[in-house]
Amino acid sequence: MERDRLNGAMDEFAPYGQTPVIAFVNEKGGVAKTTSCVNLAAALGGRKKRVLCMDLDPQANATTAFGVSAEQAIEREAHCLLTMARFPLERVVVPTQVDNVDLVPASARLADCNKALVMEVGREGRLKGKLREFYRSVLTDKYDFVLVDCPPSLDLLSINALTAATHMIVPVTTKFYALKGMALLGDMVATLHEQIGASVRLLGILVTMFDKKTALDVTIYRLLKERVERDYGNYIFSTIITKSVVVSEAEAGGLPVTLRDPESPAAEAYRRLADEVIDRLSHDMGLAAPMAGLAAARAN
């Protein structure tokens, strides 16, 4: 039985060699999704891992956070990757100021993808196909991690990310609607599993923007942790991302906080998260998560 589970784990990575593709997704906005994606990428880069960060949000916040200019984003952007069948992944990759981290930038044109793809055959798997071609080519340098920043809506951009991903991280804040948002996401993932054979698994739930001085935040965190552990297992990351002005200042300056203020508590938190992600992946923890269980939260 254990051998079968491990063989199944290997199959999950087969399209991209042994590279995990991790989607940051939550249909709720304002949960530090982009911030977490960008800073985890930088922290992994600091661990000498080669990382490709893909910005699939038309707001292009991840692109801005890495200091990539609008001109670079227009020349090489995910819009071309998704809408042009023969446009290869390597043509949209740009370097960033962060060691070991490259970016697929975004611009507002990404919003047109939902209309452009709606009549396309295989529209849900366009990104997966491009990633698979990239990793099968002998001409391209490969990455240890691919991180995908999804838009705050469950549209064709998010569907492409979830179809391509091997794992997903769900950032949540300590608000009463946190489980409701997870339930909506669970509905979509369960549908993708059933209808098009998607294989994305939950790697972890990341609590963000936490204020340990606020009694309400502490109470909701405790309730959220108890509920998730009861219904799904130990899928809340031990690392908690607290509220921090330093992170906002770093974003405004076009740098991840691990570079702008590497000694700050926020930078240390993202380094701990990077270690936790590496550890979870090494134990294949995310491959055992019952995604359909997320949808059950709505009924309870």
Q: Indicate whether 296 belongs to any domain.
A: no
Give the closest residue to 65 by CA, choosing from 259, 293, 264, 296.
Answer: 259
Residue 76 confidence (pLDDT) = 65
Q: Indicate whether 238 belongs to any domain.
A: yes
Residue 187 confidence (pLDDT) = 75
Choice among 83-97, 169-183, 279-293 with the minimum mean pLDDT? 279-293
Residue 224 confidence (pLDDT) = 84
Alpha-carbon distances, residue 152 vs 19, 231, 234, 256 (angstroms): 25, 25, 25, 21
Residue 146 confidence (pLDDT) = 97
Domain range for 145 is 2-288
* pLDDT at residue 169 is higher than 90: yes
Of residues 100 and 217, more confidence is placed in 100
Residue 278 confidence (pLDDT) = 96
Residue 51 confidence (pLDDT) = 98
* Mean pLDDT computed over every residue of the chain: 83
The residue-averaged pLDDT of 275-294 equals: 69
pLDDT category at 284 given cuts 50, 70, 90 is low
The residue-averaged pLDDT of 114-127 equals: 78
- Structural domain count of the chain: 1
Maximum mean pLDDT: which of 113-117, 127-131, 187-191: 127-131
Alpha-carbon distances, residue 247 vs 14, 97, 152, 252, 256 (angstroms): 36, 17, 20, 9, 8
Residue 280 confidence (pLDDT) = 93
Residue 8 confidence (pLDDT) = 40
Residue 166 confidence (pLDDT) = 93
Residue 7 confidence (pLDDT) = 37
Give the closest residue to 58 by CA, choosing from 101, 97, 116, 99.
Answer: 116
Choice among 6-10, 27-31, 200-204, 259-263 with the minimum mean pLDDT? 6-10
Q: Indicate whether 293 belongs to any domain.
A: no
Of residues 111 and 300, more confidence is placed in 111
The residue-averaged pLDDT of 89-98 equals: 92
* pLDDT at residue 60 is higher than 50: yes
Looking up tokens 């709505």 gives: 298
Residues above pLDDT 90, as percent of the chain:
41
Question: Which CATH number goes with the domain that contains 142?
Answer: 3.40.50.300
* pLDDT at residue 233 is higher than 90: no
Cα 234 to Cα 288: distance, rounded to the nearest angstrom? 11
Q: Tokens standing for 250?
A: 């770093």
Residue 238 confidence (pLDDT) = 95
pLDDT category at 1 given cuts 50, 70, 90 is very low
* pLDDT at residue 178 is higher than 80: no
* pLDDT at residue 291 is higher than 70: no
Residue 110 confidence (pLDDT) = 84
Cα 263 to Cα 31: distance, rounded to the nearest angstrom? 24
Of residues 68 and 5, more confidence is placed in 68
Q: Indicate whether 172 belongs to any domain.
A: yes
Q: Indicate whether 299 belongs to any domain.
A: no
Residues above pLDDT 70, as percent of the chain:
83
CA 292-147-195 angle, to 5 degrees, is: 35
Q: Indicate whether 152 belongs to any domain.
A: yes
pLDDT tens by residue, 238-250? 999 998 888 888 8
* pLDDT at residue 268 is higher than 70: yes
Q: Indicate whether 77 belongs to any domain.
A: yes
Q: Indicate whether 175 belongs to any domain.
A: yes
Give the closest residue to 26 by CA, choosing from 149, 112, 110.
Answer: 149
The DSSP output letter for 263 is T
CA 5 to chain centroid = 24
Of residues 262 and 79, more confidence is placed in 262
